[in-house]
Structure 1
Amino acid sequence: MIGFAIRSFIAAGMLFLTVYSFYTGYWGWGISLIIPLALVILSFIYNENLAFTLNHMRSGNQDKAQRAINRITAPQYILSKRQRAYVIYMQALLNAQSLPHAKVEAMLRQAIQMGLKRGHDKAMARMHLAGICVQTGRRQEAITLLAEAKKMDDSGMLKDQIKMMQGQLQNAPSKNQMRMAQMMGGRKKMPKMR
């Protein structure tokens, strides 16, 4: 919120100086202030940490992408609704190993509800949700999510991963089997014969 207020004051001040320079006849100063003003206004439209994250993800550097996306702490104050959806989506994907499954699932569902723009992003979010559902024993929900992901993958980028997950779903234990294994304390090992 403080960063947003500072950027707002800087943008308003620069806009005033630019208009005043043109009004008083200092065209050189007015023209030279247009580029910094455009950069400040662009920072309202597109967050620099989100740009760094996408750039690092394209180059394959997951650690730097994770650090850049985790720098965005309060996206509701500085970003539009669609950009907030992408920030939450990227945070869920990049922090999936360190966060609990319930938190990642809530973040992905929130990103889907807020509205991801691209079809393959919607498909990727549903595919990750299906993976979480498989791990928690919700097989039917995972099948539904994978079917939705298959429909939304308009470019066919995730076709192989979806097929692989559908194959793994055949071998996944059901919720009842997982519950029985927990009640039995897991698989008991037989004592070795001497």
Structure 2
Amino acid sequence: MISRYSRLAVAVLALGLAVYLFTISQISLGLLLILISALFVLFFFRNENMLAAFFYMRKNNMERADYFLRRIKNADETLSKGQAAYYNFLMGTIESQKSIFQSEKYFKKALSLGLRMDHDLAMAKLSLAGVAMAKGNKREAQNLLADAKKLDKNKMLTDQIKMMQGQMGQVGMQKVGMQSYQGRKRM
């Protein structure tokens, strides 16, 4: 793989060569080199493995998305802050399919680095609410669900939020039932 700054250097060289080709009337080759230069600039700002992972996530192919995300080594150092946030968000999403408790660290890190889109923030907070509920921390789960509800302006997660609130109500009823059962048992 070419390092990040080497890509920028190749882009500058290709652009310089394109200008030279324009001066000697090789317009078509010059345009081709400008296109190649633009691709190198794009890959300077966007990691190609992240682009592939996003593509496979949209196709719901988690194995391939996981493969491309695992190819990124030292994500905190090689990716920009925004890309590192989305790297952790995608890793959390994939890990939540395997183990919800392993995904918690990725979602927390994604939130701390700063996701840009409100629906991504809502999804991360909804997932963290599920983790908090699984751990039995109802107050934290309620706070995270309230935050997710505020951030879900397009109402894309309304059904999941309602379902989780219903599950929290059932968990609360089960605890009340267990406490009253234990109280009767003592008598």
Moved more, 64-73 or 145-154: 64-73
1:21 and 2:44 equivalent? no
CA distance in 1, matches of 2:40, 2:151: 36
Deviations 1:55-106 (CA, angstroms, capped at 9, x unpaired): 22222222222222222223334433222211110011112244672x5222
Q: Which residue of 2 aligns with 1:70?
A: 70
Letter in 1 for 2:156: M
Letter in 2 for 1:121: D
| Contact 1:4 1:77 (8 Å CA) reproduced | no
Q: Which residue of 2 aligns with 1:56?
A: 56
Q: How does 1:92-131 map to 2 (within 5 A)?
A: 92-98=92-98, 101=101, 103-131=102-130
Letter in 1 for 2:11: A
Letter in 1 for 2:49: N
Q: Which residue of 2 aligns with 1:37?
A: 37
SS at the partner of 2:3? helix
Deviations 1:112-135 (CA, angstroms, capped at 9, x unpaired): 122212221111100100111111
SS at the partner of 1:96? helix
Letter in 2 for 1:90: L
CA gap 1:3/1:100 in 2 versus in 1, 3 angstroms:
farther
**Structure 2 residues without counterparts, runs of 5 or longer:** 177-187
CA distance in 1, matches of 2:161, 2:116: 20
**Aligned residue-pair number:** 174
Q: Which residue of 1 aligns with 2:47?
A: 47
Q: Which residue of 2 aligns with 1:88?
A: 88
Q: TM-score, normalised by structure 2?
A: 0.80
1:107 deviation in Å? 1.8
1:12 deviation in Å? 3.3
1:50 deviation in Å? 1.9
CA gap 1:26/1:76 in 2 versus in 1, 3 angstroms:
farther
| Contact 1:66 1:95 (8 Å CA) reproduced | no
Question: Percent of aligned positions with the same letter in both sequences?
Answer: 38
1:148 deviation in Å? 0.6
RMSD: 2.7
Q: TM-score, normalised by structure 1?
A: 0.77
**Structure 1 residues without counterparts, runs of 5 or longer:** 178-194
1:49 deviation in Å? 1.9
Letter in 2 for 1:17: L
| Contact 1:44 1:79 (8 Å CA) reproduced | no
CA distance in 1, matches of 2:112, 2:85: 8
| Contact 2:100 2:131 (8 Å CA) reproduced | no
SS at the partner of 1:60? coil
Q: Which residue of 1 aligns with 2:149?
A: 150
Deviations 1:166-188 (CA, angstroms, capped at 9, x unpaired): 11112337xx99xxxxxxxxxxx
